[in-house]
């Protein structure tokens, strides 16, 4: 069909192109990811996911810190001797993780035209985040590590001659 060569294997004909940048890919390179992406575009596609994770981690740490501050001013420093208050801080810190999870499930939730509906959705999601966070936080951490490991392994495959 075309005489384009694989970007990674000069000796091979390209059987498809990267959906991100249009580089030619041979059939083994094209089978590495779905949709077909080159090594650079594969990394780029995951960047959004990494950034969202980092952002959630920062907000989570902030929530933890704010709860600790509130405790210092209400209960006093003695609060840090009680496991119950540590538990509360940990639970509050999981809220952003629940929020991130729900937002990925229902992105349209936040795009309502009615203000009242938006406020209701906001309260509902905040409440739901409280319960979802505890469950999904370990999963989200696991997922990002897995994504990182998979991308690393996939990137390697482009440069190995198969």
The verdict on 93 binding Zn ion (CB under 5 A) reads: no
Say which residue the tokens 């996939």 belong to.
Answer: 154
Residue closer to Zn ion (CB basis): 46 or 112? 46
The answer to whether the CB of 98 falls within 8 A of the CB of 127 is no
Which tokens in the block code for residue 17?
A: 């192109």
Member of 4, 13, 20, 147 binding Zn ion (CB under 5 A): 20
* Rounded Cα gap, residues 117 and 72, in angstroms: 36
The verdict on 18 binding Zn ion (CB under 5 A) reads: yes
Q: How far is CA 6 from CA 12, 44, 106, in A?
A: 6, 20, 39
The verdict on 6 binding Zn ion (CB under 5 A) reads: yes
DSSP reduced 3-state for 10: coil
The verdict on 9 binding Zn ion (CB under 5 A) reads: yes
The verdict on 49 binding Zn ion (CB under 5 A) reads: no
The verdict on 32 binding Zn ion (CB under 5 A) reads: no
Interacting residues toward Zn ion by CB under 5 A: 6, 8-9, 18, 20-21, 23, 26, 29, 38, 41
């Amino acid at each position: 069909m075309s005489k384009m060569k694989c970007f990674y294997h000069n000796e091979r004909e390209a059987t498809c192109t990267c959906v991100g940048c249009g580089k030619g890919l041979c059939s083994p390179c094209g089978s590495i990811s779905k949709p077909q992406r080159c090594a650079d575009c594969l990394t780029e596609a995951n960047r959004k996911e990494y950034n969202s994770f980092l952002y959630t981690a920062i907000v989570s740490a902030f929530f933890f810190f704010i709860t600790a501050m509130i405790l210092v001013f209400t209960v006093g420093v003695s609060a840090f001797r009680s496991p119950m208050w540590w538990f509360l801080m940990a639970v509050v810190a999981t809220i952003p993780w629940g929020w991130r999870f729900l937002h990925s499930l229902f992105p349209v939730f936040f795009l309502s035209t009615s203000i009242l509906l938006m406020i209701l959705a906001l309260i509902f999601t905040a409440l739901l985040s409280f319960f979802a966070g505890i469950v999904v936080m370990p999963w989200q951490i696991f997922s990002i590590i897995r994504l990182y490991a998979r991308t690393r392994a996939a990137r390697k495959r482009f440069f190995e001659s198969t």
